[in-house]
Structure formats: C-alpha cells, structure tokens
C-alpha cells in the first residue's frame, strides 16, 4: 500500500478520529494508501507505536439512533512513525515521495504558532509550522505537487492560520517568492472542525479489553461513536468520506459549525467540570446523574449559551445531543482530564458567550459567571494542571488581580468582579453544595 498521508501527531485524538476514517475508507476499497506519523514534539509515543508495528485497537461506544453501539476496529493503516528530532533525514525524505497527497495535524491549540527564533537550519525547527515549512520547501524545490492540508487543531480558521505561519517562516528565512506562490496555488490548507469525544487509553478497562481481543495492546484507544468532521473546501473526489457513510460536511464556511460546537459542547464541558470536581465528582457521567450538577449544566446550555448564539431548533437539538453524549455509559471521561489548561479553554469556549450575553441582554449570565468563580477556586487547589506561571499566579492572587490579566482573558474583566466575587465567596465559605443551591435558585 502506498504511503499517501503525512500525519503530525500520534495522540489519542487523531488515532481515534482521522486514522479511523482512513482505515474504514481502505477497508471499503475507497482509499489506497497508508499513513506516516510524524511526532511533532521531542517526547512522544512513536516508539510505543512502533513496538506494536503501529497497529492498535480502537473501541467506539455509545448510543446511536437509540441503539447501544459497541464497535471494535483494529487500526492497521499506519505504516510507520518518524521522530524528526532523531530521524531528521527520514523526515525530510517524505518530501521526495510523489504519492503523498494529504497532511493532517492535531498539535493542540498551541501548536499552530509562529516562533521567530526558529531557524531554517534547525534540524528540525521547533514549532510545528516551522517543521512543516521545511518539508514543504523541499517539496517545492523538487517540483512536486502540493498537498491537501487538513488541520484539526481547535483554533479558529486553523488551516488559514497554519498557512499564515508557513508564509511567515518563508519570509523570515528569506525563501524565494515563488515558494509563497506555490503554497497558495499548489496546496489547499483546509480549515476544519472536528467533533468526537476521544477518551484515550482505557486504563481501568485495559485488562478486560485485552482479554476480549486476545492480545496485549498498550496503545489501545477509546472514543464515543458520535463523530462530525466539517471541512472547508471539497475534496470528496479524492477523499470520499461521505460515500463511506461518515458524517462529514464539505462547506465553504466552517464558522457557524465551529461556533456551535465550541460554545455548546466545549463550553458545556469547561463550565461544568471544575465546579463538579470541587463538589466531589470524578467523571462526566457522574455529573449527568447528579441532580444539581446536571441542572446547572442544562441552565448553562439552554438558558445562557443557546439564547446567545441563536435559539434555533438546530441549536437546541445539538444541545440535546450533547447531553446524550455526556451521558454515554461507556465513557469514563475524567473531569481532571478535561480540566487541563482550563484558563485558555475558558477564554476560548465560555468567555465569549458571557460577554455577548451581556451585550445582548444587559446583564451577565450568572450560571456561566459562576463557572468562572469555580475556575478560580479550582486553581487554588493542587489539582490544577496548566503552565507554571499561570498556576502560581492563580493560586495566590486576589480575584480582582486575576480578572485584570488581559494576557489570560484577552481583556480586563474587572466589570465582572462583583458577580465573580459573590459566587467565589460562596464557594469558598459555604462549599460547592450550598453554592449549587444558590446558583440554581438565582434568577438571571
């Protein structure tokens, strides 16, 4: 099988999402190709994958069309892994293969970043866009065709931002003007939206699942059965995802789908998990079974988030689907896993709704403001997991100083101080149980 896909990222998400699609396309005879994984950071899991010949087992479980689904797929679409920090020559040789047509990536929300101190001579450049620019420039020099680039990072206009970074490196490194033209004309940097809850390695179920499949698999992956991939552009002729039966939308504008997903699904996650952890819960499933936590979640979704972005039938249906997905009995989605880097997540997922709600209705949405107070209380604990500077500051600084941090929130949030202090004081002094009672009884 020809190698046709270069994939930046070996984490659970891409292996439970994109690699699953390529596997199923190949199984149906709709795609003749394999995937080569490039490890985007120095320390990763490529060695572990290579120890298993890059094969692993994926379990997709949930409720689909009212029926319980428990699907097992053996993923064997990955041909090899390359660590450019130790295998730079092998990495750059990827540019020489004319069979490569697709590049996919998920290097986290911080991965698409222009870092000016990266040099063209670095082996490799430290940033993901820097590494990619090195590879693409060699491809250009060889006179070979470009790529369809599918960025899966959770940032707005991810494909456009990645192209922008590549052009910045081309300018910084003094690469010829023709390379910039080639980037534009011979490549399609598609912005995409990905939606699937991937819960990763099933630590507590691992032994039982290994027994079920009859083999030891240390790279096993798990996810929900639900999926949605919205891609700006249309390459169904080369990548027949819709023909294969997947919920894939080719569109000229990802933004409406992106906004709905980030605000409702991701916003619901981020606004719920920190308070729920302080309340003593461990998983999303427990949250949906708890009367108070689930009531506050519904209040956030249906009384604050959806009225802000558009109280339409489609959005309410999406909100209902989110509740079903959170209730998935097969997924043990740990709150502390979702809580990673909560400051940046809150800024992207929840804060825009708070500010737009205020602009539209003249007051702040109290359930979402409550979640900001819970975030501050959570960062006072030792369970926070974020950048060292953020954790150190959040743990000790007064609430007023935290809200002033424009580098955290994008603007000074001092106007929120009375409401945040109200809920924060209640959480700290009366505890989360009483705080939940108060916010559920509060009128907007």
Q: How many CB atoms lie within 10 A of CB 178?
A: 10
Percent of the chain at pLDDT exceeding 90: 90
Cα-Cα-Cα-Cα dihedral sign, residues 431, 365, 273, 389:
negative
Mean pLDDT of all residues in 338-345:
94
User: For residue 56, is it left (φ>0), alpha (ψ between -120 and 50) or beta?
Assistant: beta
Contact 309, 354 (CB under 8 A): no
Res 124: pLDDT = 96
Q: What is the mean pLDDT of the chain?
A: 95
Pull the structure tokens for residue 128: 């993901």
How large is the average pLDDT for residues 341-368? 97
374 φ, ψ (degrees, to nearest 5): -65, -35
pLDDT of 244 over the 90 cut? yes
Query: Does the pLDDT at position 375 exceed 80?
Result: yes
Give the whole-angstrom CA distance, residue 34 versus residue 238.
Answer: 14
The whole-number pLDDT of residue 373 equals: 98
Q: Tell me: pLDDT of 327 over 90.
A: no
Lowest mean pLDDT among 149-163, 329-343, 417-431: 329-343
How do residues 6-60 score in pLDDT, each as one tens digit?
999 999 999 999 999 999 999 999 999 999 999 999 989 999 999 999 999 999 9
444, pLDDT greater than 60: no
Best CA proximity match to 82, nearest among 74, 96, 94: 94
For tokens 């941090």, name the residue. Answer: 405
Q: What is the pTM of this model?
A: 0.78
User: Mean of the pLDDT values across residues 171-192?
Assistant: 97
Question: For strand 56-64 and strand 34-38, is the pairing parallel, antiparallel, or unpaired?
Answer: unpaired
Q: In the predicted model, is pLDDT for residue 374 greater than 60?
A: yes
Mean pLDDT calculated for residue range 215-241: 96
218-230 pLDDT tens trace: 999 999 999 999 9
Task: With a cut of 70, say whether residue 134 has pLDDT above it.
Answer: yes
Instruction: Render pLDDT for 71-122 as a digit per residue (tens, 0 to 9).
Output: 999 999 999 999 999 999 999 999 999 999 999 999 987 889 999 999 999 9
| Residue 70: Cβ-neighbour burial (10 angstroms; 0-12, 13-18, 19+) | exposed
């Amino acid at each position: 099988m020809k190698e046709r896909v270069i994939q930046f990222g070996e984490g659970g998400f891409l292996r439970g999402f994109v690699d699953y699609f390529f596997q199923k396309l190949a199984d149906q005879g709709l795609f003749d190709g394999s995937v080569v994984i490039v490890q985007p950071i120095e320390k990763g899991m490529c060695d572990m994958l290579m120890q298993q010949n890059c094969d692993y087992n994926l379990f997709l479980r949930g409720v689909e069309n009212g029926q319980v689904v428990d699907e097992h797929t053996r993923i064997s679409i990955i041909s090899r892994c390359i660590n450019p920090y130790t295998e730079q020559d092998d990495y750059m040789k990827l540019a020489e293969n004319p069979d490569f047509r697709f590049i996919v990536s998920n290097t986290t929300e911080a991965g698409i970043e222009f870092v000016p101190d990266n040099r063209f001579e670095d082996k490799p450049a430290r940033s993901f866009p820097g590494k990619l620019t090195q590879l693409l420039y060699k491809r250009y020099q060889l006179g070979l065709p470009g790529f369809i680039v599918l960025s899966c990072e959770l940032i707005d206009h991810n494909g456009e931002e990645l192209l922008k970074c590549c052009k910045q490196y081309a300018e910084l490194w003094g690469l010829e003007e023709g390379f910039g033209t080639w980037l534009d004309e011979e490549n399609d940097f598609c912005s995409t939206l990905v939606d699937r809850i991937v819960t990763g390695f099933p630590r507590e179920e691992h032994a039982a699942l290994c027994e079920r499949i009859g083999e030891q698999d240390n790279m096993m992956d798990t996810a929900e059965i639900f999926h949605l991939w919205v891609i700006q552009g249309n390459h169904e002729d080369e990548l027949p995802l819709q023909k294969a039966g997947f919920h894939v939308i080719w569109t000229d504008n990802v933004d409406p789908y992106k906004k709905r997903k980030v605000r409702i699904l991701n916003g619901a996650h981020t606004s719920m998990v920190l308070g729920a952890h302080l309340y003593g819960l461990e998983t999303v499933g427990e949250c949906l079974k708890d009367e108070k936590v689930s009531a506050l979640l519904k209040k956030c979704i249906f009384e604050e988030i959806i009225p802000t972005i558009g109280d339409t039938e489609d959005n309410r249906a999406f909100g209902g689907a989110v509740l079903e997905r959170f209730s998935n009995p097969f997924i043990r989605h740990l709150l502390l896993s979702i809580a990673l880097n909560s400051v940046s997540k809150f800024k992207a997922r929840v804060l825009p709704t708070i500010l737009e709600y205020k602009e539209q209705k003249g007051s702040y949405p109290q359930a979402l403001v409550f979640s900001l107070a819970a975030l501050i209380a959570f960062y006072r604990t030792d369970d926070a997991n974020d950048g060292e500077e953020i954790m150190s500051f959040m743990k000790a600084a007064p609430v007023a100083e935290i809200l002033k941090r424009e580098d955290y929130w994008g603007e000074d949030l001092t106007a929120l101080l009375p409401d945040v202090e109200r809920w924060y004081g209640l959480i700290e002094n009366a505890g989360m149980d009483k705080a939940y009672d108060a916010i559920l009884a509060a009128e907007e």
